[in-house]
Amino acid sequence: MIIGAGPAGLTAAYELLKTGNYIPIVIEKLDIPGGLSRTVNYKGNRMDIGGHRFFSKSNKVLDWWLEILPLEKSITGEEKISYQNKSKNLNPYTATASSDETMLLRNRKSRIYFLKQLFPYPIRLDFYTLKKLGPVLACKILGSYFFSMIFPVKPETTLRDFLKNRFGKALYRIFFEDYTRKVWGVNAEEIPAEWGKQRIKGVSISKIIAHSVKRKKTDDIQQKKVETSLIEKFLYPKYGPGQLWEKVAEMIVSKGGRIIYNHSVVSMSASDDIITNISIKSTHNSETQIIEGDYFISTMAIKDLVNALTPAPSQQLAQIAEGLEYREFITIGLLVKDLSLKEPNGNVISDNWIYIQEKGVKMGRLQIFNNWSPFMVKDECTVWLGLEYFCQENDALWSMPENELVKLAES
């Protein structure tokens, strides 16, 4: 029994089927596989919830993806990527350019929208950035950056300390302070430094400068010596990330597995600390049924998992689970004829996504789905946008009627 038909649940089911020893039954509360990596199709325009880049420094992971969706071929029939030690016992992972079931090789580009201007992301202290900020602000940024290099915050206990030590106090206040509060709903001083080490990893001004100087054109998709935030190439399914997981779901069913959609888990019964069965409820008519299994894998939220256990766990464990906080996320699709933001050559901006750091603007990030894959938009003469907002469950934004959310996006 596998709870959840997201990437983790589907991967587990597929791998178990390959052993020939297990029959996986996957329970999914939605009517579509993929979880947060699903692709929503609205009148032929496809929406990626969050923007999912496919890249890995692991050959095994790359092999797995490309077995499901082979790599596109160029017009000349040549493969568009390479990576070290590619398995020789598998197919060459290439598909014709006209194939629908294929991975595209994409160039990553993202920027920051601030002071009604576009800045590179990750932020760079180069001539063009400093010129846009103006001489006074540029001097403050350079001065505070060198000060942080000489006198770093010690001990480094909060995300604020982490960011100041790598970017300087002035740059932190301009680009990180308000945006952190917008995304996570709390101030940077309330978040541990470990969060920055996990999310931003080794990125700093010095690392960005070094990467720019040493950058070489390469077809190696692994980019093993590149920090994750600086990755410049990635794979992307032709019709969005959900295409990969829809294909995996089809393969699971064809190999004898089962996926039960539109059902949520309401309880998990245990005997002697071993799960014996689960009770699931239809999202359509609230009918429930009990399903037994030999083994259980859960990919549901930890809070929901603990609350579903019967008998209930210890009071301490229940309190810890109940105390877990989840940040909510709203994506609004907006189809437009054109964008006022242009590249120097007059074309629509080529960014995959843009971080919105203007004060007073609720939107946190803007996706341009055309630039993830041109096949995400039905009419190539239109621009398909994903406007992302961060909130808490049941707050004013979360509770806003759909027509008002659309008006907010349009404004």
d(CA 69, CA 243) in angstroms, rounded, equals 9
State residue 39's pLDDT score: 96
Domain boundary among 261, 291, 326: 326
pLDDT tens for 357-411 read: 888 889 999 999 999 999 999 998 999 999 999 999 989 999 999 999 999 999 8
Domain with residue 1: its CATH number is 3.50.50.60
State residue 89's pLDDT score: 36
The angle at the Cα of 291, spanning 287 to 297, to the nearest 5 degrees, equals: 115
Residue 184 domain flag = yes
Q: Range of 400's domain? A: 328-410
d(CA 287, CA 58) in angstroms, rounded, equals 43
d(CA 144, CA 150) in angstroms, rounded, equals 10
Length of the chain, please?
Answer: 411
Instruction: Measure the CA dihedral 349/350/354/357, to 10°.
Output: -40
d(CA 391, CA 399) in angstroms, rounded, equals 10
Same domain, 367 and 385: yes
d(CA 113, CA 120) in angstroms, rounded, equals 9
114-118 LR contacts (CB < 8 Å, sep 24+): 114/174, 114/175, 114/357, 114/358, 115/358, 116/358, 118/341, 118/349, 118/354
Half-sphere CA count of 115, side-chain side, radius 13 A:
10
pLDDT tens for 291-337 read: 999 999 999 999 999 999 999 999 999 999 999 988 999 999 999 99
Same domain, 404 and 389: yes
Q: Residue 287 pLDDT > 80, yes or no? A: yes
Same domain, 333 and 390: yes
Residue 148 domain flag = yes
Residue 165 domain flag = yes
List the structure tokens of 130.
Answer: 């400093």
Same domain, 291 and 333: no
d(CA 303, CA 325) in angstroms, rounded, equals 9
Stated as kind and residue range, the H or E segment containing 399 is none
Domain boundary among 326, 343, 365: 326
d(CA 98, CA 119) in angstroms, rounded, equals 36
Q: Can you tell me the mean pLDDT for 7-17?
A: 97
Q: Are 339 and 118 in contact (CB under 8 A)?
A: no
Q: Are 308 and 268 in contact (CB under 8 A)?
A: yes
Using CA atoms, how far residue 110 sits from 113, 288, 299, 368, in Å, is 10, 46, 30, 10
Same domain, 321 and 341: no
List the structure tokens of 12.
Answer: 């587990």
Domain boundary among 178, 202, 226: 202
pLDDT tens for 177-209 read: 999 999 999 999 999 999 887 777 655 555 555
Residue 368 domain flag = yes
d(CA 26, CA 32) in angstroms, rounded, equals 12
Same domain, 307 and 337: no
Residue 212 domain flag = no
Same domain, 44 and 27: yes
d(CA 89, CA 94) in angstroms, rounded, equals 14
* DSSP structure string for 73-134: B-TTS-BS-B-TT--TTS---EE-TT-SS-EEEEE--EEEEETTEEEESS---SHHHHHHH-
Residue 398 domain flag = yes
Q: With 0-12 CB in 10 A as exposed, 13-18 as middle and 19+ as buried, what is 18? A: exposed
d(CA 83, CA 225) in angstroms, rounded, equals 13
* Count of the separate structural domains present in the chain: 3
Assign 217 to helix, strand or coil: coil
Ramachandran class of 93: left when φ > 0, alpha when ψ lies in -120 to 50, beta otherwise: left
Same domain, 183 and 137: yes
Confidence band of 121 (pLDDT split at 50, 70, 90): confident
Confidence band of 91 (pLDDT split at 50, 70, 90): very low
State residue 218's pLDDT score: 53
Domain with residue 160: its CATH number is 1.10.3110
* Alpha-helical regions (H) of 151-273: 159-167, 169-171, 177-184, 193-199, 205-214, 241-254
List the structure tokens of 193.
Answer: 């430094």
Same domain, 346 and 335: yes
Q: At what angle do helices 241-254 and 59-68 cross, to 10 degrees?
A: 70
Q: Could you tell me which residue, 38 or 87, shows the higher pLDDT?
A: 38
Residue 176 domain flag = yes
pLDDT tens for 327-351 read: 999 999 999 999 888 888 888 889 9
Residue 72 domain flag = no
Same domain, 342 and 360: yes
- Of the candidates 359, 362, 356, 357, the residue with the CA atom closest to the CA atom of residue 389: 362
Same domain, 339 and 309: no
Same domain, 318 and 336: no
